Amino acid sequence: MNEAAYAQALLKLQRQIAAMREARILVEPLLPVDEQVFDPAALTPEQRMFLDAFRARFADLQDFLGQRIFRLIALWDEDESPARPLSTRERVQLMERKGFLERRQWHALRDLRNAFAHEYPDEHAVKAAHLNEAFRLAPTLETVAEALARYMSHALER
């Protein structure tokens, strides 16, 4: 595993955690939202921007952890190799064994991220429910990401 690539991924992860936290703080006064409040015509451009940023940062952080960070940690710790790649399911199980997450929580985060990807513009009630759930789960996502970042940082110090 290339140390420079690992360090670069850690830096990106730390930036994404900070961006997620910032978006959560900005959107907090707007939540919870309901179908009427979420109607784009009822929101100011700034409110729409904050809600969109929160949704995007939640999805981006969840995706980055699942698609990149889990794999990098598995490679760094030699639980995986290019010759013997793990499946996504195996990586999630590995992260659970290492104590970073509970599989049930991870699946809830992933399912919500996937739901964001399949929303339709006029489904205000669905979009509102997804945003409310993401706000409720954001501390869990941040806790997982922070634990992974600490682990990676300590690994680089060894």
C-alpha to C-alpha distance for 27 and 41, rounded to whole angstroms: 18
0.85 exceeded by the pTM?
Answer: yes
Give the three-state DSSP class for 81. strand
Which fold does the domain 3-157 belong to in CATH?
Four Helix Bundle (Hemerythrin (Met), subunit A) (1.20.120)
Tell me what pLDDT residue 120 has. 75
Tens of pLDDT along 52-110?
999 999 999 999 999 999 999 999 999 999 999 999 999 999 999 999 999 999 999 99
Higher pLDDT, residue 1 or 11: 11
Can you tell me the mean pLDDT for 11-21? 98
Can you tell me the mean pLDDT for 4-26? 97
Q: Where are the domains of the chain?
A: 3-157
The overall average pLDDT reported for the chain is: 93
What are the start-end ranges of the E strands in the chain? none
C-alpha to C-alpha distance for 10 and 16, rounded to whole angstroms: 10
Tell me what pLDDT residue 103 has. 96
Locate 151 and state its tokens: 């682990």
